[in-house]
Structure 1
Amino acid sequence: MRISWLVPVLLGAVLLGGCADRGDDPDRPATTTASPSASAAERTLRDYLLAADAGDCDEVKETVLLPEQVECADVRDQKGRWSGGDVDLETVPMEAEVVETSATVTVDWPKDPEDVWSLEHVDGSWRVVNADAGDGV
C-alpha cells in the first residue's frame, strides 16, 4: 500500500518535466532550459566581432556557419571597423534571444543604430549566420 502514493507523484513529475515554455503563443516553438544558452551565443558574436575587427580571417571562419563564403580580403579590408569610435567590443551591450537552435543577438552600439545578428547552434557550437545591413564582412 505504501507504493500507491508513489505512482501519482512520479506521473506528475514526468508531466511537469515534459512541459516547455511557449509563452502565450501555442504556435511558438518551445524554449527549454536544455536549449543552448544566450550567453554562449553572445560570446560567439563577440568572438566574431573581435576577429573581424582584428582582420583575422582564420578566426572569423571559426565563428561563422559557412566559412567557405568568407572572403579574407574583405576581412582584412574591414580591420578596425567594429572598434571605431572607441567601442570596447568586450563590453558593448548585447541581448540574445534563443529559440530552440536559433538565436537573434542585438548589439546596442553606443553611437550607431543597433545591429541584429542571426546565429545557429550546430554541432555543439553557435555560428554566426548573418547580420543586418550594417555588416560588411
Structure 2
Amino acid sequence: MAENKLHPTVSKFKEFVSSHPHIIQEVRDGRATWQELYEDWYLLGEEDPRWTTQKEAIHSDKPAAENVDTGAGALVNQFVTLAKKMDPAQLQSHLYNLSQTLGTIQGLINQFRSAPPPQQPRPEIAPPPQPFPFRKD
C-alpha cells in the first residue's frame, strides 16, 4: 500500500537497489547517502559505469571474513579512515573557532569569579513608629 503512494522513479530506484546489493553496503559503510545515490541514479541512469565499477570493487576486496575487525584494531582503523577523509584546512578552521569559543567562555567565567558582587552598606535602621499612639490623659 505504501509503494502505491511513492513516486514512480522512487519505485524504480528501489528495484534497482534490490538488483545491486553493493549499493546497500555502500550506504551502511557510510560512503554515500541514499539521497546521493538516488540523485546519481536519476542523473546518470542505470547503465552508467559507476554502478558496475563499484560492484566490481566491492567483490575484488578482501573476503567478507577479513573485512570484519574487532576490538582496538577496528577503532584505530576507523580513526585512520576518518583522518584520510578530513580536509586539513576545514579542520584547522573548526579548531580555531572552537579555541576562540573556549577562550571567550573562560574569560566570562573569570570575570564572574574575580568580581565579587558589590556590597552596599546597610543604613542604620530606625525603630518603626508605633502604630497606636498611647497618650496619658
| TM-score class, shorter | under 0.3
Structure in which a larger fraction of residues adopt helix: 2
TM-score, length-scaled by structure 1: 0.21
Structure number with the bigger relative contact order (C-alpha 8 A, sep ≥ 6) is: 1
Structure in which a larger fraction of residues adopt strand: 1
TM-score, length-scaled by structure 2: 0.21
